[in-house]
Structure 1
Amino acid sequence: MTAVTDLPAALGARLLPAATAAAEVLPAPTPLVAGEPAAGDVAGCAGFAGASVADLHLPGSPRIAVLVGADLVAALAESPMGGLDLAAATQPALDAAAAALGVGCGAAREVALDAVPADLGNAFTLVPLVGDAAPAGAFLVSDGAAAAIDAVRGSDTSAPGSPAVSTPVAARGIEMLHGVDMEVTVELGRARLTVRELLALSPGEVLELDRAAGSPADLLVNGRLIARGEVVVVDEDFGLRVTEIVDETTAG
């Protein structure tokens, strides 16, 4: 595998800070530290359990990616809120890495592990993210990103100051998901309509919902009912005053 000194100069100068930024916010069972960058290959992606990729806001939309271990994949799948999205869980890490590279990135998307090399253009650099002396994740940068960063930054290859490496408290089990964004929805009620009725809708039409006036609204997280409450107005915006937390027995 190629050592970091053989990587493109501009990328080499920014790679470790970017990987460190990703490591600081990537959910993991233990705090992560960026390891030694090396040329990536299919074998380097083996042993991980999931992957997310995002396009950098650079000409040609080169890509970066993060690989995660089985601990995070299992925690997302077994969350009390239902199966959570790996792309959403890794978006902050990709955003942080892109910012450290001096650019932005698009929305993360989950990809199959064996598709990662092709998705990155089959030429990429891999930085292991190590926790408890074992790789718990990885940060990947396509060689297309290296060329694009060099083109945008010009010949400036000076390395930025080394960022302070934080030492967050180890997060285990569900605690590692504390920073994961989830979609929260308030539902007033539901109605069933035929296609004909849907096509016949017009402005001013009133739909009758399956809930009586004054009944509590449902609070759903990623589509799962977790609470009920009263709709209120807060600074001219709607809000929900929670009146009941729903457990699994009553949710059904």
Structure 2
Amino acid sequence: MSVPTDVATAEAAAQAFATALPSPVPLEVVDATQAGMPEPDAASVRAGFVGATSADLVAVAGEAVAAALATAVGLSLADAVRPALEAAGRTLGTGVLDEAVEAPVADALAAPDVRTFALVDTLGTAVAWFGLRIRQTVSDVPHQRDAAPAAAPAAGSRADSYGMRLLHDVEMTLTAEIGRTKLPVRQVLDLVPGTILELDRAAGAPADVLVNGRLVARGEVVVVDEDYGIRITEIVTESAS
């Protein structure tokens, strides 16, 4: 469910989006009614922002980032636009941007609860569009009328054990990470076989073990039958992580 989106909030997000978009020329944010709307079959990038203020973000920016896509081999439209969507999301406060997906824009920017802005170049031509829809924040989960709240099962109880057993066969992705680094796009494009990247982890330091992207343990890298493995040395609690 959405709520009326404040014009100033949407315009601030659009300004941040325009500034961060990898366009070869500076872009000006104007009301979409002044510049027209994109064609319904134009490719859009959409992402949800979840935080104190949650929102849906929609962008049509293929023309604006065409130069970046032409020079960056393997870079998708969603990859090129995501940093700008993240910049727009930061204007809403603390939160996380969901995965950015591509889809035809259709009428996503024309919905009555979406504030839409056009991004025009120095000639006044619209080369991108940005839309924002604020979602309603649900503070309390409604309960069935006259129903008493159910007590949570005690740890170790039969109900708790049964609930966990239902999840025993659910597969989760474990990832071992020995380090990270950040590079500007120009250096990423210059990578060639033989390039050495310096990571943010000292030699011999334990590797991080992540479950679906969440840090749960640390361990040392070992070799098991010619395959790499991880010997767990530390379980990371939520407070420690």
Q: TM-score, normalised by structure 2?
A: 0.50
Aligned counterpart, 1:55: 48
Instruction: Report if the CA contact (8 A) 2:53-2:92 is conserved.
Output: no
Query: In the alignment, does 2:84 pair up with 1:93?
Result: yes
Aligned length: 157
Moved more, 122-131 or 93-102: 122-131
> Residues of 1 paired with 2:184 and 2:87: CA distance?
13
Query: In the alignment, does 2:202 pair up with 1:236?
Result: yes
Instruction: Report if the CA contact (8 A) 1:65-1:140 is conserved.
Output: yes
Instruction: Report if the CA contact (8 A) 1:15-1:101 is conserved.
Output: no
Q: Quote how far apart the aligned CAs of 1:48 are.
A: 8.5
Deviations 1:104-153 (A, max 9, x none): 342342322245629x97842211111111112111112xx1x537x89x
Q: How does 1:1-252 map to 2 (within 5 A)?
A: 8=4, 11-36=6-31, 44-46=37-39, 49-58=42-51, 62-73=55-66, 75-76=68-69, 78-79=70-71, 81-115=72-106, 117=108, 123-132=113-122, 133-142=124-133, 145=134, 147-148=135-136, 180=185, 226-229=192-195, 236-237=202-203
Instruction: Report if the CA contact (8 A) 1:52-1:66 is conserved.
Output: yes
Aligned counterpart, 1:3: none
Q: Quote how far apart the aligned CAs of 1:58 are.
A: 4.6
Aligned partner of residue 83 in structure 2, secondary structure: helix
Q: Give the counterpart letter for 1:127 in structure 2.
A: F
Q: Give the counterpart letter for 2:77 in structure 1.
A: L
Which structure would you say has the larger RCO, counting Cα contacts within 8 Å and 6 or more residues apart? 1
Q: Give the counterpart letter for 2:66 in structure 1.
A: V
More helix as a share of residues: 1
Q: Quote how far apart the aligned CAs of 1:231 are.
A: 8.2
Pairwise CA RMSD of aligned residues? 4.2
Unpaired runs of 5+ in structure 1? 1-6, 153-177, 185-220, 239-252
> Residues of 2 paired with 1:74 and 1:235: CA distance?
35
> Residues of 2 paired with 1:26 and 1:102: CA distance?
20
Q: Quote how far apart the aligned CAs of 1:25 are.
A: 0.6
Instruction: Report if the CA contact (8 A) 1:63-1:141 is conserved.
Output: yes
Q: Quote how far apart the aligned CAs of 1:69 are.
A: 3.5
> Residues of 2 paired with 1:29 and 1:11: CA distance?
30
Q: Quote how far apart the aligned CAs of 1:12 are.
A: 1.4
Q: Quote how far apart the aligned CAs of 1:91 are.
A: 1.5
Query: % of aligned pairs identical?
Result: 25
> Residues of 1 paired with 2:114 and 2:129: CA distance?
12
